Amino acid sequence: MPDTLTKLTYQTFQQGKNYFGLAHKILSTRLMNLVSPTEIQSRPIAPDTLLKIQQRLNQLLETDWQDAEQGIYPESLLFDNPWDEFFLYYPAVWLDLPQIWQRAKQKQHQDFPPDINTEGYPNYYVRNFHHQTGGYFSDFSAKLYDLQVEILFGGTADPMRRRILAPLKQGLQAFANVPPHQVRILDVACGTGRTLKLIRAALPEASLFGTDLSPAYLRKANQLLSQNPGELPQLLQANAEELPYLDNYFHATTCVFLFHELPGPVRQKVIDQCFRVTQPGGVFVICDSIQVSDSPDMIPVMESFHETFHEPFYKHYMTDNLVERLEKAGFQNVTTQTHFMSKVFVAHKPA
C-alpha cells in the first residue's frame, strides 16, 4: 500500500509535469506572437478561475492517489509516463509548431500531406483536430499525440483517464461468476492505446479489445500494448457508428475523449452501438470533457477551447445532454462525476 513518502513523491511528480506543460505553453505562445502573429489568441483567464482550476487539479490528484491506495490499480500507474518517447519526440513538437501556427492563422482545417488518403472516412473526421499535422491519419501524428495531450492538460491526461477504472471494476462485479480471463472489455476509439494500458494494469486477466478509425494510431497502440509480456492486442480498425461485434458481446465498454469530437447525431449512433454490444447487466463508462451543466464556473475555459484548438463540435458538446442520449439508447442508472477538466458517465444496461 502506498505510504506518505510515496504520496509526496507522487504529488511532486505530477506538479513537475504540470509546470512542464505550463512552461511549454508560455514559451510557445511568446514565440508564436514574435515570429508568426495569428488571429487566434488564447483569452486571458481570470484569477478566480485560475484558482478554481488549481483546486480541481488538487482534487483530481487526491482522488488518483486514493484509488491507488484502495487497490483499484497498482501504485506503479501513478508514476507511469513514457519519458523516453517524450524526450525523443519533444524536439519534433517544437519543429512542428510553425505549421500548426500557419494552419491556425489561415483556418486550414483540412490540410493534409499529399501521401495521406482520406477517402472512405466520415467528413467530420477528415480535419486537423487541434490543428495537428496529419490529423489522425499519420504515424507522425500518432507518435506526438500522447505528448501533445499531456502538454495540453499539464500532465493530467492519464489521471483523468484513470477515473474510469473504479466504476469499470465496480460494474464488472455483476459478472463475479465469470472467470477473469473470460471477461471481455471494449475500448471504443482507443487511439494510441493509453486507456487500454491502464485497464490492463487494473484488470490483468481480462480480455481487452480496441477499435479506432486510424490505422496509424492502431499501429501505435499495438506497439504500446505489446510491451506487456504475453499481451496479444485485439485491435480493429472500425467506425464506432457501426461496431463489428455481435450483440451483447462485451461485459463492459469504455470510451475516452471521443464524444466532444463528434457531431450530435453521431454521438447518439455511437451510444446506440455501445448499448448493442454490451451484455445485459454490463456497464458503459465514458470519460470526456466537462460540460456547462456540471461546471458553469469553467465556461470561460470551455468557450475558448473550441476556438483555440479547433474542436468544431465542442461548442455543441458543451450543452449536449449525454445522460438523455444514454437513456434513449436503453441504458439505466446513469450517474456522472467530474474530475478536473473531465466528466465521467457511468451507464448500466438492464440485466
Q: Is the pTM of this model over 0.85?
A: yes
> 3-class SS at 169?
helix
Report d(CA 342, CA 321) in Å as an integer.
15
**25: pLDDT strictly greater than 80:** no
DSSP H helix total and E strand total for the chain: 12, 7
**H or E segment to which residue 264 belongs:** helix 264-277
Residues 181, 324 within the same domain: yes
* Mean local confidence (pLDDT), 40-46: 64
Residues 6+ apart with CB under 8 A from 123: none
Residues 122, 234 within the same domain: no
Among 24-28, 69-73, 230-234, 245-249, the range scoring the smallest mean pLDDT is 24-28
**40: pLDDT strictly greater than 60:** no
SS3 percent helix, strand, coil of the chain, rounded to 5, is 55, 15, 30
* Mean local confidence (pLDDT), 257-286: 98
Number of domains in the chain: 2
pLDDT at 164: 98
pLDDT at 32: 67
- Burial category of 20 from C-beta neighbours within 10 Å (exposed 0-12, middle 13-18, buried 19 and up): middle
Q: What percent of the chain has pLDDT over 70?
A: 95
**19: pLDDT strictly greater than 60:** yes
More confident position, 5 or 156? 156
Residues 196, 344 within the same domain: yes
Residues 142, 171 within the same domain: no
Residues 93, 47 within the same domain: yes
C-alpha cell of residue 329: 439508447
Q: How confident is the model at residue 17 (pLDDT cuts 50, 70, 90)?
A: confident
* Mean local confidence (pLDDT), 155-173: 97
| Average model confidence (pLDDT) across the chain | 91
Q: Which of 107, 122, 155 is the last residue of a domain?
A: 155
- Cβ atoms of 339 and 60 within 8 Å: the answer is yes
Q: How confident is the model at residue 107 (pLDDT cuts 50, 70, 90)?
A: confident
pLDDT at 7: 85
> 3-class SS at 189?
coil
Q: Which of 139, 155, 171 is the last residue of a domain?
A: 155
Closest CA to 191 of 252, 124, 144: 144
**168: pLDDT strictly greater than 80:** yes
* Cβ atoms within 10 Å of 203's Cβ, excluding its own: 19
* Mean local confidence (pLDDT), 294-302: 93
Residues 166, 126 within the same domain: no
Q: Which of 135, 155, 175 is the last residue of a domain?
A: 155
Tell me: the pLDDT tens digits for 323-336?
Answer: 999 999 999 999 99
Residues 272, 324 within the same domain: yes
* Mean local confidence (pLDDT), 166-193: 98
C-alpha cell of residue 106: 489561415
Q: How confident is the model at residue 288 (pLDDT cuts 50, 70, 90)?
A: very high
Residues 188, 331 within the same domain: yes
Among 41-45, 154-158, 164-168, the range scoring the smallest mean pLDDT is 41-45
Residues 126, 167 within the same domain: no
Domain that holds residue 177: 158-348
Tell me: the pLDDT tens digits for 65-102?
Answer: 999 999 999 999 999 887 788 889 989 988 888 888 88
Residues 178, 326 within the same domain: yes
**348: pLDDT strictly greater than 90:** yes
pLDDT at 202: 97
pLDDT at 229: 86
More confident position, 229 or 69? 69
pLDDT at 34: 63
Residues 149, 164 within the same domain: no
Report d(CA 344, CA 84) in Å as an integer.
30
Report d(CA 95, CA 79) in Å as an integer.
28
Q: Residues 264, 161, 237, 119: what is their CA dihedral angle, to the nearest 10 degrees?
A: 50
Residues 79, 198 within the same domain: no
**175: pLDDT strictly greater than 80:** yes
Q: How many residues does the chain have?
A: 351
Instruction: Provide the CB-side half-sphere exposure for 153 (13 A, CA).
Output: 23
* Mean local confidence (pLDDT), 307-314: 89
- Cβ atoms of 96 and 133 within 8 Å: the answer is yes
Report d(CA 17, CA 27) in Å as an integer.
15
**From the centroid of its chain, how far is CA 168?**
16
* CATH code for position 261: 3.40.50.150
- Cβ atoms of 180 and 252 within 8 Å: the answer is no
pLDDT at 232: 80
Q: How confident is the model at residue 309 (pLDDT cuts 50, 70, 90)?
A: confident
